[in-house]
Amino acid sequence: MSTMTDDLDKAEADLRKSLETGMPEKEYEGTVYLQLGAIAYKKGNIKEAYENLRKAVKIGLPDKDNAATAYLQLSSICVQRRDFRSAKTYYAKAKSFKATNPQVVAQIQEMAKYMSRIPG
């Protein structure tokens, strides 16, 4: 609930508390790390965002849209770091999930414009 109201500190605390108590299914743990990565990204903590998103992908996510979102955010972070090879790899993975959520599809299309301009 606190993630919807943009109270990022409370949302992060709630998510960390839910991780401490344990998750019944691994996919939900991946979703929590995806949300923590998104929160860290919004706060400007790119390193923590990258680590949380990598954990989310490693643990697994429940659906294609969440997986595509995670890989798209990882690609965006790599572009900021000027790690273009990884950015292209993550973008290709995000695109391969064939997301159905209109917002995710729009973000992938937007990212395609940037990917076409990257050298290499």
pLDDT values of the chain reduced to their tens digit, one per residue, 120 residues: 444 556 788 888 888 887 778 766 666 888 889 999 999 999 899 999 999 999 999 988 888 999 999 999 999 999 999 999 999 999 999 999 999 999 999 999 999 998 888 876
Q: What is the pTM of this model?
A: 0.86
State whether CATH 1.25.40.10 applies to domain 8-117: yes
Instruction: Tell me the Ramachandran region of residue 80: left when phi exceeds 0, alpha when psi lies from -120 to 50, beta otherwise.
Output: alpha
8 A C-beta contact, residue 83 and residue 48 = no
Number of Cβ atoms within 10 Å of the Cβ of 15? 20
How far from the centroid of its chain's Cα atoms is residue 3's Cα? 15
Start-end of H helices in the chain: 8-21, 26-43, 46-59, 64-80, 84-96, 102-117
Domain ranges of the chain: 8-117
